[in-house]
């Protein structure tokens, strides 16, 4: 009865393992024990003699080898599926940026590490008109182009994410406000994207709200401040950069008038 219980527990552990490669040694031991038990049972029932315990176990292992190979490759495939599902649970598939939940988690961790930094809240201007006029496929092209622009301007220590719809957020880790304004100027330049027609492209502008993380260590409060600044940027005519500071926000730059910032310059800013 005890052996039966141990075998059942081992089999349950194998099935419950999240990583089949990690569980593979357990599978080998289980199958060898099962093979040995089968041979012993045959000896008990039929009186058939065996050449010894080692030979008995090895013979059982050879019998089970095809199943072990199959189980190993099935486990590899399962791991790849789990990795894909994990990626989809953390990333926005259209842009490759973090999804909202992952952004919030990572941004909170960055702020906890170092209070110095700047939060940007970004919204695509008149995005609904793009969807309504050209269709959702072209709208997706627009979102992808925005995602590419953000990726281009993120350093490895920054945190970027798609907050939902046409709204994005970036935490520029370790930056001063003046440095972040330069980066926002590059991000906010008009973005071209495919219209679905080879001879013409469309363009969209961005409105950005900016707040220094030294205003408060609470990410939720920072998002509210950045959102207020973003609202003022849109109210001022869109394609504007507005900064929250000292309890109020003001528009500080017309993004359509911003000159280009070379990517090498971006690297200097974060050095």
Give the residue among 177, 176, 159 at the shortest CA–CA distance from 168.
159
pLDDT score, position 140: 95
Q: How many CB atoms lie within 10 A of CB 34?
A: 16
Helix residue ranges per DSSP H, the chain:
2-16, 20-46, 53-90, 100-113, 127-134, 136-152, 177-187, 219-235, 263-270
d(CA 151, CA 161): 10
SS3 for 162?
strand
Task: Point out the residues that are catalytic.
Answer: 166
- Residue 259: its pLDDT value, please? 40
Prediction pTM value: 0.67
pLDDT at 160: 96
Q: What's the pLDDT score for residue 7?
A: 47
The CA–CA distances, whole Å, from 30 to 2, 64, 71 equal 15, 11, 13
- Three-class SS string for 33-79? HHHHHHHHHHHHHHCCCCCCHHHHHHHHHHHHHHHHHHHHHHHHHHH
Residues 91/97, Cβ–Cβ less than 8 Å? yes
Give me the pLDDT at residue 116, please.
Answer: 87
Question: For residue 175, what is the enclosing H or E element?
Answer: none
Task: Note whether 225 and 211 are within 8 A (CB).
Answer: yes
Task: Extract the tokens encoding 49.
Answer: 């003699």
Residue 200: phi, psi to the nearest 5? -150, 145
Phi, psi (5° rounding) for residue 106? -70, -40
The parts of the chain modelled with pLDDT lower than 70 are 1-89, 198-199, 257-271
Place of tokens 């990626």: 87
- Dig out the tokens for 119 from the structure: 């939060």
């Amino acid at each position: 009865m005890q052996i039966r219980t141990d075998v059942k527990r081992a089999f349950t552990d194998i099935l419950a393992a999240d990583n089949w490669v990690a569980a593979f040694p357990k599978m080998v031991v289980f199958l060898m024990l099962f093979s040995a038990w089968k041979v012993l049972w045959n000896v008990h029932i039929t009186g058939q003699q065996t050449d010894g315990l080692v030979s008995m176990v090895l013979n059982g292992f050879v019998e089970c080898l095809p199943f072990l190979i199959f189980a190993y490759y099935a486990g590899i495939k399962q791991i790849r599926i789990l990795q894909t599902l994990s990626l989809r649970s953390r990333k926005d598939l259209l842009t490759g940026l973090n999804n909202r939940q992952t952004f919030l988690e990572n941004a909170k961790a960055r702020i906890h590490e170092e209070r110095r930094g700047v939060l940007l809240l970004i919204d695509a201007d008149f995005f609904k008109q793009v969807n309504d006029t050209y269709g959702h496929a072209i709208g997706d092209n627009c979102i992808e182009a925005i995602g590419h622009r953000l990726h281009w301007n993120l350093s490895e220590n920054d945190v970027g994410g798609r907050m939902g719809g046409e709204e994005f957020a970036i935490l520029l880790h370790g930056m001063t406000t003046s440095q972040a304004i330069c980066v926002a100027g590059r991000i906010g330049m008009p973005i071209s994207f495919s219209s679905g027609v080879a001879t013409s492209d469309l363009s969209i502008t961005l409105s950005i709200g900016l707040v220094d993380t030294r205003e408060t260590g609470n990410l939720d409060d920072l998002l509210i401040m950045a959102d207020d600044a973003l609202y003022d940027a849109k109210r001022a005519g869109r394609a504007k950069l507005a900064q929250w500071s000292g309890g109020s926000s003001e528009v500080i730059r017309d993004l359509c008038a911003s000159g280009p910032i070379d990517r090498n310059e971006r690297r200097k800013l974060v050095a």
